[in-house]
C-alpha cells in the first residue's frame, strides 16, 4: 500500500525557516517524480515544486523560487521541503504527492499524504 507521511510542520515566526519531510513506503520511491502542494486555510490547492527521480531536476512556483528548496534522499525513501524566509501567507497544509506512474515525467498526482500544517505567525 502506498503511504506518504509528512512531518516537521508547526508554528514558526515570520522570517524563520522550517524543513518538512515526507516518508514514503509501499512503492519504489526512486522511480517516481515527487511534488509538494499546499492549501491555505479555506483556500484552494497550490502546486509548489517537483523533483525528478534522481534529484537532478527541480521546478518551482514563481512565488517560492529562491525561498523553498525541494530535495530527496532515495536511500531513505524521503522527500524534503526546506522553507526559508517564511511569510504569513505561507500558512497552509503542505501535502507530499507522488506521480501517478513511475518512469518518465507525467505530472498526474496519483497519491497524496495527509498533510502537515505550517503556521507562520508571531
Using the rule CB under 8 A, give the single segment among 11-19, 22-30, 80-88, 104-112 that binds other proteins: 104-112
- Residue identified by cell 524534503 is 80
Q: Which of 13, 31, 114, 121 binds other proteins (CB under 8 A)?
A: 114
Among the candidate windows 21-29, 68-76, 82-90, 105-113, which touches other proteins by CB under 8 A? 105-113
When the beta carbons of 11 and 108 are compared against other proteins, the nearer one is: 108
Give the nearest distance from C-beta 111 to other proteins in angstroms: 8
Q: Look at residues 116, 109, 115, 103 and name the one whose alpha carbon lies nearest to residue 34.
A: 109
Residue-by-residue DSSP string for 32-85: S-EEEEEE-TTS-EEEEEEE-TTSS-EEE-GGGTTTEEEEEEGGGTEEEEEE-S
27 forms part of the interface with other proteins (CB under 8 A): no
Amino acid at each position: 500500500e502506498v503511504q506518504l507521511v509528512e512531518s516537521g510542520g508547526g508554528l514558526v515566526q515570520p522570517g524563520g525557516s522550517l524543513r518538512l519531510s515526507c516518508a514514503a513506503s509501499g512503492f519504489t520511491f526512486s522511480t517516481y517524480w515527487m511534488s509538494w502542494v499546499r492549501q491555505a486555510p479555506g483556500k484552494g490547492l497550490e502546486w509548489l515544486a517537483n523533483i525528478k527521480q534522481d534529484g537532478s531536476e527541480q521546478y518551482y512556483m514563481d512565488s517560492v523560487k529562491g525561498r523553498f528548496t525541494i530535495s530527496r534522499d532515495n536511500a531513505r525513501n524521503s522527500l524534503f521541503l526546506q522553507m526559508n524566509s517564511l511569510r504569513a501567507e505561507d500558512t497552509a497544509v503542505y501535502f507530499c504527492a507522488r506521480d501517478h506512474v513511475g518512469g518518465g515525467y507525467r505530472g498526474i498526482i496519483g497519491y497524496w499524504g495527509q498533510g502537515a500544517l505550517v503556521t507562520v505567525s508571531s
